[in-house]
Amino acid sequence: MYKRILVTLDRSQLAEQALPHALAIAQACEASVELLSIVKLLADSNLDPKALEAETRESEDYLRGIAARLSEAGLECSINVRQGDVADEILRFCEEAECDLIVMSTHGRSGLGRWVYGSIADRVLRYAEVPVLLVRATESE
């Protein structure tokens, strides 16, 4: 059913809670997995190019570790790091890589918290042209 699954990760344990779900679907469908991390660029900040490079390298190293775990489980896996607005980059990458499922975790904020902080998961869910599996992350896991 699915051939290429996009999993978004931000180097947090909460985001990693989407991995078991993506793993199960990928194994069942014999799909490949695209791991994606976005280095967030803030329009009002002057991010030092060296800091940006270091952040990108850290994200790549992190994703390599996750990819190794998925490869041990028998999955074909690629790592990808982009810079920019998180939701926009997720949607853009999904289209470019021809992914047919997005798996990501959500912190489950609602009300004022969603309004103040925005919701990446909500934007991806609204604008993605492929199915999106949202896994509600919990602090206790």
pLDDT band, residue 137 (cuts 50/70/90): confident
Higher per-residue pLDDT: 63 or 114: 63
- Give tens-digit pLDDT for 22-81: 999 999 999 999 999 999 876 545 667 888 889 999 999 999 999 999 999 999 999 999
Q: Decide: 137 and 105 in contact? Cβ < 8 Å.
A: yes
Cα 2 to Cα 100: distance, rounded to the nearest angstrom: 6
Number of C-beta neighbours around residue 5 at 10 A: 25
Look-up of token digits 């991010």: 47
Give the residue extent of every domain in the chain: 4-136
Beta strand pairing status for 32-40 and 101-106? unpaired
pLDDT, position 115: 45
pLDDT, position 52: 86
- Give tens-digit pLDDT for 81-96: 999 999 999 999 999 9
Whole-model pTM: value is 0.89
Q: What is the dihedral of CA 6, 8, 14, 16, to 10 degrees?
A: 50
* Domain covering 4-136, topology: Rossmann fold (3.40.50)
